[in-house]
Structure 1
Amino acid sequence: MSVEDTAQRARPGRPRSEQSRSAVVRATSELLHEIGLRAMTTEQIAARSGSSKATIYKWWPNKYAVAVDAFFSEMQADSPDPDTGSARGDFTIWLRGLFHFYTGPSGRVFAQLVGEAQFDPEVADELRDGLIRTRRAVLEAVWDRGVERGELRADVDRDVAIDLIVGPALYRLMTSRGALDDAAADAIVDAVIRGLSR
């Protein structure tokens, strides 16, 4: 253990602070599912979590930032980096996880968050910086591994390739057109990989 780690562990109040932070994220998730993003207030988050508003604002600038954190925690469980040794396998497992997330209790709330981001730049910033960039980093790693192994074409723009995989999922979520199941995820990845393989 480093000196820095020891100092952090010894710092008074640290375990309690981490416990409070987790309680805030958990309370936010519950409220999002129960009453929705717009109706939820920072006061309600504070009351549900047992934390003060000051504690909440210590970590997040607003309720939208807390909501993004809550969604990131949920999405992490459904869309990890599988690293199967195959780009097709990695993309398929990741997209299946995303579809499971979208069709679960959090999907409707996530759609609200995306919808709100179209009208509120603050929400858009939190969503992009706190959630989308982090999740996209997983797909960038999958793409880079595929290129290094010679599975995928190095002359294809990585961002465009990732858009081709993620885009249909978000389109289906927002428009309710097309299935969001394992078969659909497999078909999307198969179609994209056929065009991007070496």
Structure 2
Amino acid sequence: MSRRPDPSRRSEQSRQAILAAAADLCVEVGFAATTIEAIAARAGVGKQTIYRWWPSKAAVLLEQMQRVREASADFPDTGDLRADLLAQTTALEGLLATNDGAIWRGLLIAAQSDDVAADGVRALLERAVTDAKQRLAKAQASGELRADADLDMVVEIIYGPLYHAWLLRVRPLPPGYMKEILTLVFDGLKPATGGDAR
């Protein structure tokens, strides 16, 4: 006796095919040239199947990036803030150089004019910033970081140079780039001797 097809399994296979097709197309032709029609054709599904789950191509690619984020390791916490930041920012630098980085670049550009992309990018960045601030706050409590440091600003100072160089492609990032950035940053963020946080 033959088994009946499992609709939930077929749906999940279609969903995975759509995510993979959208990611591949975005890397190959760029975000702007990626269309729902092209995604559907590559995934072997109808357009309505895509629209049943997502309102736009940006939403499809945002789910792909959310999965990338969930698969990545949590923000490290070894007790050494500088080492943890170096590990995390180096991992981010590596991710930005991959196909997922190309997708993320497309979404960041689209976010300037696409509300779905803007909301999704903001949500992903807020989670990343929250993780970083939690680690920085712990470092403040342990005396590794100046007590008066504005943590939102610290995040911007640490990650801003990496995003600037990557997004604008002003120069190839040299080996040890984030180590040099963190050396400069920590000279200003380390607590003063004598107990004066300023």
* TM-score when normalising by structure 2: 0.79
> Mean Cα displacement is larger for which, 104-113 or 182-191?
104-113
Residue aligned with 1:180, SS: coil
1:120–1:89 distance in 2 versus 1, CA, 3 Å: same
> Hey, what does 1:25 align to over in structure 2?
19
User: How does 1:117-132 map onto structure 2 within 5 Å?
Assistant: 117-129=111-123, 131-132=124-125
> Hey, what does 1:91 align to over in structure 2?
85
User: How does 1:10-21 map onto structure 2 within 5 Å?
Assistant: 13-21=7-15
Q: What amino acid is the match of 2:82? A: R
Once the two structures are TM-superposed, the CA of residue 191 in structure 1 deviates from its matched residue by: 1.8
Q: What amino acid is the match of 1:100? A: G
Tell whether the 8 Å contact from 1:92 to 1:185 is kept in structure 2 after alignment: yes
User: How does 1:1-198 map onto structure 2 within 5 Å?
Assistant: 13-75=7-69, 80-129=74-123, 131-198=124-191
Once the two structures are TM-superposed, the CA of residue 136 in structure 1 deviates from its matched residue by: 2.1
Q: What amino acid is the match of 1:138? A: D
Greater relative contact order (Cα < 8 A, sep 6+): 1
Aligned length, in residue pairs: 186
Deviation readout 1:2-48 (Å, 9 max, x if unpaired): xxxxxxxxxx8545444433332222211111121111112222333
* TM-score when normalising by structure 1: 0.79
Once the two structures are TM-superposed, the CA of residue 186 in structure 1 deviates from its matched residue by: 1.0
**Larger helix proportion, structure 1 or 2?**
1
Deviation readout 1:121-153 (Å, 9 max, x if unpaired): 332222112x21222232123212222322122
1:154–1:54 distance in 2 versus 1, CA, 3 Å: farther
Q: What amino acid is the match of 1:172? A: A
Once the two structures are TM-superposed, the CA of residue 164 in structure 1 deviates from its matched residue by: 0.7
RMSD: 2.5
Identical counterparts, % of pairs: 33
Tell whether the 8 Å contact from 2:26 to 2:102 is kept in structure 1 after alignment: no
Q: What amino acid is the match of 2:89? A: L
Residue aligned with 1:83, SS: coil
**Larger Rg, first or second structure (1 or 2):** 2
Deviation readout 1:140-173 (Å, 9 max, x if unpaired): 2321222232212232111111011111111001
